[in-house]
Chain A
Amino acid sequence: MSEDARGRLTELKVLSEKAGAGDKEARKELRRLVRASSPEVIAEASGIARRAEWMLVKIISAGEPLMEEALEERMQQMRSQIAGEDPTPLEVLLTERVVAGWLLVEVLEGLIAAQYQRDIKAHRVAPTYVIQQSRIVESATRRYLAAIRELVRVRKLQAGAPVQVNTQVNVLRG
């Protein structure tokens, strides 16, 4: 992300905290800044997401053009299903966050599974390594679920509905 965008994000964060604590001047300034810099910052953040997704797709498809295309298609479907019709820029951004989070979890699980297939037969995986890997996947999964919850919240708030979000994860044994 560019220095400029980073600076704006920091400014938005500081003003949000002040406004959230009741500072009316900060809220006014925040409104102005959100209007002025949001589209640009959203575009830049989306650019990062696309770069990250591209890199993840390349890894998981391992140079298979068909797999790469299938993944791109799947992600496109997810985007349109999640964002729905006529999404706000914020919804588009949060949708991208959900898609990137999903892809990251898929890639991490895929990489780890492939490594286990290689290494477990040779009894070469150290327990500390397994723990560290699990932490990385767990934290990515947590962020992915948080992204879903945030999108649901924002949607409900935009619709003016009361907000209560419960996330349930069902793990099926294959």
Chain B
Amino acid sequence: MTLERRDGRLYYYRSVRDGERVRKVYVGAGEFARICSETDVLQRTSRRAQRERERAELERLEGLVALVEEFSEAAQVLVTAHLVAGGYRKHKGEWRRARSV
């Protein structure tokens, strides 16, 4: 996005991705160019802030999950240890009594 001044007049262009290339697309001139440029800056800032909020929210959710997960994994290790010690073995995802214990 560029706001260019030529011969004392403002021109505004937006950058548009077209496959591998980025094209410069003319938007407008004069006061209209200035308004479009400011609107784009505002929208970009707002989008960036929103992305930041989303990232923080995802981190928060993952933090909540992590604590329960830590407990859950510990419980799983204990259960497996108890069952194996008790003479069971896992076969194709199913617990079975081991033959030679």
B78 touches A139 (CB 8 A): no
Determine if A38 is an interface residue (Cβ-Cβ < 8 Å): yes
Contacts of A59 on B, CB cut-off 8 Å? 64
Interface residues on B, range: 20 to 34
Determine if B84 is an interface residue (Cβ-Cβ < 8 Å): yes
B54 touches A129 (CB 8 A): yes
In the complex, the chain A residue whose C-beta lies closest to that of B83 is A157
B85 touches A132 (CB 8 A): no
Shortest Cβ gap from A114 to chain B (Å): 11
Interface string of B52-90 (1 = CB under 8 A from A): 001001100110110111111011111111111110111
In the complex, the chain A residue whose C-beta lies closest to that of B86 is A157
Determine if A12 is an interface residue (Cβ-Cβ < 8 Å): yes
Shortest Cβ gap from A136 to chain B (Å): 5
Shortest Cβ gap from A25 to chain B (Å): 13
**Given A90-B82, A157-B88, A136–B75 Cβ distance below 8 Å?**
no
A42 to B64, CA, bound (A): 21
Interface of A, helix, strand, loop or mixed by DSSP: helix
Determine if B101 is an interface residue (Cβ-Cβ < 8 Å): yes
Please pick, from B54, B65, B83, B95, the residue contacting A136 in the complex, using a CB distance under 8 A. Answer: B65
Determine if B44 is an interface residue (Cβ-Cβ < 8 Å): no
A115 to B60, CA, bound (A): 13
Please pick, from B71, B89, B94, the residue contacting A52 in the complex, using a CB distance under 8 A. Answer: B71
Determine if B51 is an interface residue (Cβ-Cβ < 8 Å): yes
Shortest Cβ gap from A2 to chain B (Å): 11
B57, B76, B82: most-surrounded residue (chain A CB, <10 A):
B82
B-contacting 9-mer, from A14-22, A65-73, A79-87 = A14-22
A16 touches B84 (CB 8 A): yes
Contacts of A154 on B, CB cut-off 8 Å? 79, 82-83
A42 touches B65 (CB 8 A): no
A27 touches B101 (CB 8 A): yes
Contacts of A20 on B, CB cut-off 8 Å? 80, 84, 89-90
Known contacts A34-B82, A96-B71, A108-B65; 11 further A-B pairs (Cβ under 8 A): A13-B81, A19-B85, A30-B81, A42-B78, A44-B74, A48-B67, A52-B67, A97-B75, A101-B68, A108-B61, A147-B72
A-B contact pairs, 21 of them (CB 8 A): A1-B74, A9-B74, A12-B77, A20-B84, A20-B90, A27-B85, A27-B101, A38-B82, A42-B78, A44-B74, A48-B67, A48-B71, A49-B71, A55-B64, A97-B71, A97-B75, A108-B65, A111-B61, A125-B54, A133-B61, A163-B95
